[in-house]
Chain A
Amino acid sequence: MSEKNYEFVVKRKDDNGKESYSSYEVPKDKISTVLEGLIYIKENFDQTLSFRYSCRMEICGSCGMEVNGKPRTACSTIVSQLGTDRVKVDPMKHYEVIKDLVVDMDPFFTKYSEGLPYIIREGEEDYSSEIPQTPEQFKEYEQYSMCIKCGLCMAACPIVGSDEDYMGPAPLAAVLRYNKDNRDQGSKYRLEIVDGDEGTSRCHFVGECTEVCPKGVDPSFAIQRLRMQGVRYELGKFFRRRK
């Protein structure tokens, strides 16, 4: 390989399910990110390569994949910062591969919606003014609202890998995001769901999810906080029943 090129080694899967790796030499001066590398390959060398992308600015969550063994968003992974000229690209783990680097995201979004990730309020709404929320109240959930649904945390989580029913980091962090929003009145419904077998109790707090998250969401800590909320909620229920 010439010093002027990067070597991209890309995992492939065709219509018949046959898996392989393809190698391409990509000129260093033509690309900066892993995503640009993949687009360059498709435009110049190999029309059959498939992958997902859209914003190219790490905000739409399309381009999750594994780069040199680590789950990353391809559009914000700068190749020259990888410390090697060899770029090995695989689809995210723990997802079914549709083709090449494209994985089935439907199960992720299904799990995501299980935790009722939306504001729940009782009674009629009056939309003629805002519901007050101080900057401090916003800080309570700010971090968890930054999730771009790239699904990398699911690829990093060993529990997701071994137990396909486990809700997983991003869906649980979303539950905390809504529970911590002072405009919301739906915690009790969500805690009933996440306190179940497939919720917070499954997490071993290994922290891999937090490490790979490009947006600093810290799902691991979110799950800890959520578990504490759950304990308080169950205790409250218990005492209410005794009264």
Chain B
Amino acid sequence: MQIIKEDVLILGGGMAGLRAAVAAAEYNKNISVGLVSKLYPLRSHSVSAEGGTSAVLSPKDNFDLHSYDTIKGSDYLADQDAVEKFVRLVPEQIYTTDHWGCPWSRNPDGTISQRDFGGLSYPRATFAADKTGFHVMQTLFSRALKYDNIHIYNEYFATSLIVENNSFNAITTINLKNSEYTVFQGKSLIFAAGGAGRLYQFSTYAHSVSGDGDAIAYRAGLPLKDLEFIQFHPTGLVPSGILITEAARSEGGYLLNNEGKRFMEKYAATKLEKAPRDIVSRAIMWEIEAGRGVKGKYGDTVYVNLDLRHMADILEEKLPMITDIAKRFNGIDPAEELIPVRPATHYTMGGIHVNNDTETPVQGIYGAGENVCISIHGANRLGSNSTNECLAFGNLAGVKAAEYAMSHSMPSLNNDKAKAEETRLWDDLMKRDGGENVAKIREDLRISMDANVGVFRTEDGINNGIRNIKALQERFKKITIGDKSKVFNLELEWALEVGFMLDLAEVIAKGAVLRKESRGGHYRKDYPERDDANFLKHTMATYSTEGPKFTYIPVTITKWKPAPRVY
């Protein structure tokens, strides 16, 4: 067993983790900051974010408007005090990252430019061409290189969290390079390990987004909040799932069914294709269910078409990245041909429960980014409202964790728990030999989640999904990890991820069956209306050996009384 000690530990090197690392390192140069990540930071999913990040920068815009858009988008499940705090924290982050070199797109006079995005009442999406996440990530990584007190541990895979007397104790990891079991001790910890979108088959996410952070926290007793809310982006490119940005529709793209007809009028009479993601995703699925989906050269996959042909003259200038992607990955020229799309998982609204100061219920443990739920996104996140969250609350978590580290001493390691985890990895997991294939379990899980706990949900469907999860959990006990290598064992990594996914799938499905209403990303065909009388509340799931235990906490309402969400 290898032991490494750092004052502040950060799990995850995406946008939230890097922002937190820089904040903690700047807070006090004498604090050592250890950033632990299963990927080199620049390989994190955050580099894929395309469209933009919302910030109130113009005197014509204001914080109330940004708050209102966010809250309405959330289908009133967001905590309004959290949202009001959030919108005020963002602008400084835009300017700070500008000083650090982020190439925010500009107006001719050199000031930062902004544009429109779905669900915004003022065009406040700040962007770096259509590579917003990529450029912000390069900026944060470059800034992190400046600080000697930031130590990046590349390709250490976290397997568990140790909590002792309701305080942070340590995280356990495997160094992928040599399979060395490595325990990181720290005074404080920030969870920034991203979302859980790859629990589903068809997804815009990077392959690496498997919900590890959520599952690790959950197993150690931290509550997960609102995990049943998964966002489906209407336009994942078939068959890869690569995102076709919302800008394709906001710039004027049409969605067509197999009759070649536009259909959005039936589902969002005013906003049409520009309606929010959950509404457009459902519209596409209704069309597909009604037999008006397209079946073509992509096997059994049924989809609809995105038509940009009437916008041929603006494609190169306004939508260069997706034009390139369609050509490169599908051999399709959007100026002349239709683009096959269907709804794909895109965002995990739920996550580890934290308060408005990024604190979890456990002393010394904080969290930021897609890994946590504050909640500012409620039942549905607005486009362009996540990267800014990573910056604003990543920064805050960094400061809070640093403050905590300054006033606490290093806890002594709970050796028994650390040893027990080592035993679980090498003597249990690696030695299981029932012949079940990890990749096959993963595929079966994903197919079942798509079918049963996807865009449309019903009691029967979800229960079917739960039965499948139970069966898959049994099969997981009988896996054989065919690779016994001690060097970069990708099969072991997959096995650990699938173990996490199975736990989370159960939380999502059971939370979904209990929520007998439709709100934002959670749509129950058997309960198609929002039910504020019974369900204007957050779901909290806590681990037990028999499965998740559910409780509920109220939503904080400040100024905006829940109203019907019409677009």
Contact = CB atoms under 8 A, between A and B. Distances in A.
B348 interface: no
Interface of A: 14-15, 29, 32-33, 42-44, 47-62, 76, 78, 98-100, 102, 105-106, 109, 113, 117-119, 121, 125, 127-135, 137-138, 141-142, 145-146, 148-149, 178, 181, 183-184
26 contacts: A15-B485, A32-B240, A47-B481, A48-B482, A48-B485, A50-B483, A50-B488, A50-B489, A54-B43, A55-B207, A58-B328, A59-B134, A60-B44, A76-B328, A118-B100, A118-B146, A130-B94, A132-B110, A133-B103, A133-B106, A138-B103, A146-B131, A149-B42, A181-B101, A183-B101, A184-B101
Contacts of A134: 106, 108-110
Nearest to A46: B482
Interface stretch (B137-145, B356-364, B378-386, B408-416): B137-145
A51 B110 contact: no
A118 B143 contact: yes
A135 B109 CA distance: 8
Contacts of B131: 59, 146
A54 B39 contact: yes
Interface string B113-138: 00000000000000000010011001
A49 B47 CA distance: 26
A71 B208 CA distance: 23
B99 A119 contact: yes
A118 B208 contact: no
Contacts of A146: 131
Contacts of A149: 42
Nearest to A48: B483
Interface string B342-370: 00000000000000000000000000000
B242 interface: yes
Contacts of B106: 133-135, 138
Q: Which 9 residue pairs of A and B lie closest in terms of their CB atoms, listed nearest first?
A: A47-B482, A132-B110, A118-B142, A43-B439, A119-B101, A48-B483, A99-B488, A50-B490, A60-B43
Interface string B475-499: 0000001110111111100000000
Contact of B43 (A47, A62, A99): A62
A47 B441 CA distance: 14
A128 B95 contact: yes
A110 B242 CA distance: 31
B154 interface: yes
Contacts of B523: none
Contact of A119 (B142, B206, B240): B142
A98 B103 CA distance: 35
Given A48-B482, A134-B106, A134-B108, A55 B98 contact: no
B220 interface: no
Interface of B: 39-40, 42-45, 47-48, 92, 94-96, 98-101, 103-104, 106, 108-112, 131, 134-135, 138, 142-143, 145-146, 154, 177, 206-208, 239-240, 242, 299, 325, 328-329, 331, 437-440, 443, 481-483, 485-491
A105 B328 contact: no
Contacts, number: 158
Contacts of A141: 103
Q: Is the interface of A mostly helix, strand, loop or mixed?
A: loop
Contacts of A133: 103, 106, 110
B490 A42 contact: yes
**Max chain B Cβ within 10 angstroms of own Cβ: one of A60, A76, A131:** A60
Given A14-B485, A48-B482, A183-B101, A57 B242 contact: yes
A14 B489 CA distance: 11
B28 to A, nearest CB: 18
B487 A99 contact: yes
B245 to A, nearest CB: 12
Contacts of A49: 490
Contacts of B443: 43
B207 A53 contact: yes
**Which of B44, B94, B491 gathers the greatest number of chain A CB atoms within 10 Å?**
B491
A48 B299 CA distance: 29
Given A47-B483, A58-B328, A60-B206, 18 more contacts: A42-B491, A43-B443, A48-B485, A50-B487, A54-B39, A57-B329, A60-B39, A61-B42, A61-B43, A118-B142, A119-B142, A127-B96, A127-B99, A128-B95, A130-B99, A134-B108, A135-B108, A148-B47
B280 to A, nearest CB: 22
Q: Which of B96, B239, B443, B490 has most A Cβ within 10 Å?
A: B490
Nearest to A137: B110
Nearest to B484: A48
Contacts of B239: 32
B206 A47 contact: no
Given A42-B439, A48-B483, A118-B145, A60 B48 contact: yes
